[in-house]
């Protein structure tokens, strides 16, 4: 998001294949509140998750589609994680929170991206980040 909103016509990424389960911040906060209100969950590990996953490559394409459909994904070897440090699949099982509290995510991934991109489009937010700096 930062790369594209800073004027780049490409997104530089490492491995495009790892998958992640992404939860919008408003859904995460709502999940925390439901956990705090539930005596049944006191002292338990609880996943706040969507239960669905998306690859980094597919996520990048969704971001491109919303910001600049002409942009391209470029795989950059400098952005590959060191051997044995990459987690290739992260997807959460949200059954405990949904069955106990009824919580479930209210924002789709596309809506979450739209909201996040809108936040970053504000100059005061975007200027807090540097598109050219990559940290592993």
Is the model's pLDDT at 120 over the cut of 90?
A: yes
Percent of the chain with pLDDT over 70: 98
- Choose between 87 and 61: higher pLDDT: 61
Residue 107 CB contacts under 8 Å (≥ 6 apart), including other chains: 24, 26, 27, 115
State pLDDT tens for residues 12-52: 999 999 999 999 999 999 999 999 999 999 999 999 999 99
Mean pLDDT calculated for residue range 110-117: 98
pLDDT attached to residue 130: 84
Identify the CATH homologous superfamily for domain 2-126.
NAD(P)-binding Rossmann-like Domain (3.40.50.720)
pLDDT attached to residue 38: 97
What residue segments make up the domains of the chain, in order of their start?
2-126
Q: Tell me the Ramachandran region of residue 43: left when phi exceeds 0, alpha when psi lies from -120 to 50, beta otherwise.
A: left
């Amino acid at each position: 998001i930062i790369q594209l909103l800073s004027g780049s016509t490409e997104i530089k990424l490492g491995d495009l294949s790892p998958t992640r389960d992404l939860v919008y911040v408003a859904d995460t906060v709502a999940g925390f509140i439901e956990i705090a209100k539930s005596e049944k969950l006191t002292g338990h590990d609880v996943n706040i998750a969507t239960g669905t996953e998306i690859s980094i490559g597919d996520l990048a394409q969704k971001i491109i589609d919303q910001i600049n459909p002409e942009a391209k994904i470029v795989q950059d070897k400098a952005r590959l994680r060191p051997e044995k440090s990459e987690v290739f699949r992260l997807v959460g099982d949200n059954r405990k929170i949904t069955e106990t509290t009824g919580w479930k995510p209210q924002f789709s991934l596309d809506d979450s991206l739209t909201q996040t991109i809108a936040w970053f489009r504000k100059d005061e937010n975007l200027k807090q980040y540097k598109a050219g700096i990559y940290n592993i």
